[in-house]
Amino acid sequence: MLLKRWILFSIIGLSSVVVRAQTLVVVDIDDTLKVAHVLNAADSIANSGKIKNQFLGMAKLLRMFKEDNSEMAIAYVSNAPESLMHNSHRRFIEINGFPDDGFLLLRENVFDGSFKVRVIRQLVNEIMPAKVILIGDNAEKDTLIYEQIQKDFPQIPILTLIHRVYSVKNKKDTGKPLQKDQMGYVTSVDLAVIFSRLNMISRDHFQQFLNEEIPRIVAEPDHLEEGEIAFPKWMDCRDQMVRRFKMPGQKDLFAQYQSRLKKRCTR
């Protein structure tokens, strides 16, 4: 049984999570939660041990999301090698305040190309959730892996959210295109908007998140590459269409955010 091999941050929570989970959330780490720049070999190696490099607001948003969805299991599933990255990724999750009662599943064999698909299939089959949320990025294979999971479980509503940190137009760090029905996002604010529109986060949490995180994103310098940041210097988000959203009670604040997003992602 896969359950017996899972490494949990809260052993006590295992049985309750598995029995009660109505929603399974599968989250990638590098370039989804962690600022890694995996398409650049030198940067990827340099960032591998840096545990404070997180995309701004992601830990807070996932905590809020979990508070509003108590019957939820979260699994951090990464192709990073277990032998090298387990301790680093565990500390990254803990020190940055990501929900720490989830599963951390890393690849034991670096030559195992089917690891992620196989593990997610097992998670779905064993937990049997009513719905699945897949969160990843467009650096390597998440778009294709998540597309396969959606094909494997057509009877389960699956929401796929892809962090567009690379552009398909970039000849050096070439991003992967989104597949059918996948939704792209650039920052945690975009993700919060999606959660709010699908009624997956409370209105109070949503308003609090916007009030706290948008000013930080608007004030962020363009040259940053480390720490808690929304737009790493190397990020190429030009593929993401900047849409105008009407946010009651937050018109001015959200206008500032969209202006910042448009400026940063237009090249």
Could you tell me if 248 and 235 are in contact, meaning their C-beta atoms sit under 8 angstroms apart? no
The Cα–Cα gap between 103 and 3 comes to 10
> What is the tens place of the pLDDT at every residue in 120-174?
999 999 999 999 999 999 999 999 999 999 999 999 999 999 999 999 999 999 9
pLDDT at 10: 35
For residue 167, what is the DSSP state? B
Q: Is the pLDDT of residue 17 over 50?
A: no
Confidence of residue 3 (pLDDT cuts 50, 70, 90): very low
Helix (H, G, I), strand (E, B) or coil at 52: coil
Confidence of residue 226 (pLDDT cuts 50, 70, 90): very high
Q: Is the pLDDT of residue 266 over 70?
A: yes
Beta pairing partners, 159? 133
Tokens for 195? 């959660």
Q: pTM for the whole thing?
A: 0.91
Domains, the chain, ranges and CATH? 2-265 (3.40.50.1000)
Could you tell me if 120 and 24 are in contact, meaning their C-beta atoms sit under 8 angstroms apart? no
The Cα–Cα gap between 148 and 142 comes to 10
CB proximity list for 261: less than 8 A, separation 6 or greater: 186, 187, 242
User: Cβ of 112: how many Cβ atoms within 10 Å?
Assistant: 12
Q: Which residue's entry shows tokens 């448009």?
A: 262
> What is the tens place of the pLDDT at every residue in 24-71?
999 999 999 999 999 999 999 999 999 999 999 999 999 999 999 988
pLDDT at 8: 42
Backbone angles phi, psi at 133, to 5 degrees: -120, 125
Could you tell me if 155 and 130 are in contact, meaning their C-beta atoms sit under 8 angstroms apart? no
